[in-house]
Amino acid sequence: MAGAFDGFGQKAIPFLKALDFHQNREWFQENRDLFERELRDPFGDLVETLSERFAAAGMGLRGDRKKSLFRINRDVRFAKDKRPYNRHLSAILSPDGTKMEQGVLFVYIGLDRCFAGVAWWQPGPALLLAMRQAIATRPGEFRTLIATLKKAGLELDTEGCMKRTPRGFEHVAEADLAVAIRNRHFVVRHAIDPAGIHGPALVDELVDFTLRAKPLLDWGRAIEGKVPKD
């Protein structure tokens, strides 16, 4: 049942620690109630509370407890690491409420770290090409975006950046533009203090971050709107 987010349970992170130690279905089934009460159900509340806040702010991001949360079970079919469970739980809020859209808010509560990201993550070839072309042909617009994000305390993440300039962009000589064009993703992140996940103030924290990151969403959406649909 939906409810206002009041915080993750005090045993949310200890549960993940214990699950990581045991890593077996029997232990998980015995402790499923703890998982649901301390971690999964509060995460559903968080997603739906954020959806209400974003709707009021006209952010174009939404989700619900059924579609937005990723499973804690790992897909091990083609993985060398056969551990059955993740060390984290995560969720996405997107323009249509599914996990298939681009321009999203990603929230990750994990044993290793807690963070949120506003992301254009692994955009399809046509959209990624259009984003790179926008950087190359409208550098002033892109630099304004970067300056706006910097003023808000954010910067583009360089994870997964290509080592070489992609074909067709060898002519881009300015260092900042060349580095940006090598991105495979366009992402800004916000570190969440694990001690701060247990109260409702996390909602305000994530809304504030997403509002500060909105220029990245707007930039990508303007480009996406001109890319022909498959």
- Output the pTM of the full model: 0.94
The arithmetic mean of pLDDT across residues 137-158, rounded, is 97
**Lowest pLDDT segment from 74-88, 115-129, 130-144:** 74-88
Residue 230: per-residue pLDDT:
59
Report which of residues 40 and 81 the model is more confident about.
Answer: 40
Residue 137: per-residue pLDDT:
97
State the burial class of residue 197 (Cβ atoms within 10 Å of its Cβ: 0-12, 13-18, 19+).
buried
Pairing of strands 114-120, 88-93: unpaired
Residue 196 CA: distances (Å) to CA of 27, 36, 203: 28, 19, 11
Residue 1: per-residue pLDDT:
42
Q: What is the pLDDT of residues 118-127, one digit of tens each?
A: 999 999 999 9
Distance CA 48, CA 4 (A): 8
Residue 166: per-residue pLDDT:
94
Q: What is the pLDDT of residues 31-44, one digit of tens each?
A: 999 999 999 999 99
Residue 2: per-residue pLDDT:
55
Query: Which CATH class name applies to 12-224?
Result: alpha beta
Is the per-residue pLDDT at 78 higher than 90? no
Percent pLDDT > 70 in the chain is 99
Average pLDDT taken over every residue of the chain: 95
The arithmetic mean of pLDDT across residues 190-202, rounded, is 97
Percent pLDDT > 90 in the chain is 90
**Lowest pLDDT segment from 7-11, 124-128, 165-169, 224-228:** 224-228
User: What are the extents of the domains in the chain?
Assistant: 12-224
Supply the DSSP symbol for 229: P
Contact 130, 157 (CB under 8 A): no
Residue 229: per-residue pLDDT:
75
